[in-house]
Amino acid sequence: MFDIVATGGTFDILHKGHYTLLLKALEVGRQIIIGVSSDNYATRNHKKIVNNYNIRVEKLKKFIDENFKKSNYSVYQLDDFYGPTVLTRDVQAIITTQSSLENCVKINSLRESKGMTPLEIILVPLVEDKDGKVISSTRIRDGEIDVNGNKLTFY
């Protein structure tokens, strides 16, 4: 168990993959810092978002309350992938998926260059649907699957 852990994302359309990521963060951290991409940062990264930052944060808080009944977290607006992980020595671990692992390695490199202890990287597997495809906000937005990865069929 870590005192303070960090995780992050765009959190546009919340789905089973987000649930898994947050569950791991809440399991291993006494306090969780959740970085949420600003609208500008999401756009710079070519993310198509449906909800603006304030709506995404509001929905994220509701999602955590409904699914985890936890309040040991804070939300931080991300304007880059580093966020608070390079601003404070207090963060001890970062919870991520394979798709963001490279950024976590860069975070640790910057932390070390600043004389800070590297974060323990806790890798959470990407959640897949029954066909082995990764559940993503893009696939949900495109009407391919629902938030649990179930195929949507139209008659």
Q: Which amino acid is it at 106?
A: K
Q: Which domain holds residue 65?
A: 2-129
- Residue-wise pLDDT for 126-151, tens only, equals 999 989 999 999 899 999 999 999 99
108 belongs to a structural domain: yes
25 belongs to a structural domain: yes
C-alpha angle 67-18-146 in degrees, rounded to nearest 5: 90
77 belongs to a structural domain: yes
Q: Tell me if 33 sits within 8 A of 6, measured CB to CB.
A: yes
Number of domains in the chain: 1
Residue 155 pLDDT level (bands cut at 50, 70, 90): low
pTM: 0.92
CATH number at residue 39: 3.40.50.620
Compute the distance between CA of residue 124 and CA of residue 139 in angstroms, rounded to an integer: 20
Q: How far is CA 134 from CA 49, 122, 139, 150, 153, in A?
A: 18, 19, 9, 11, 18
155 belongs to a structural domain: no
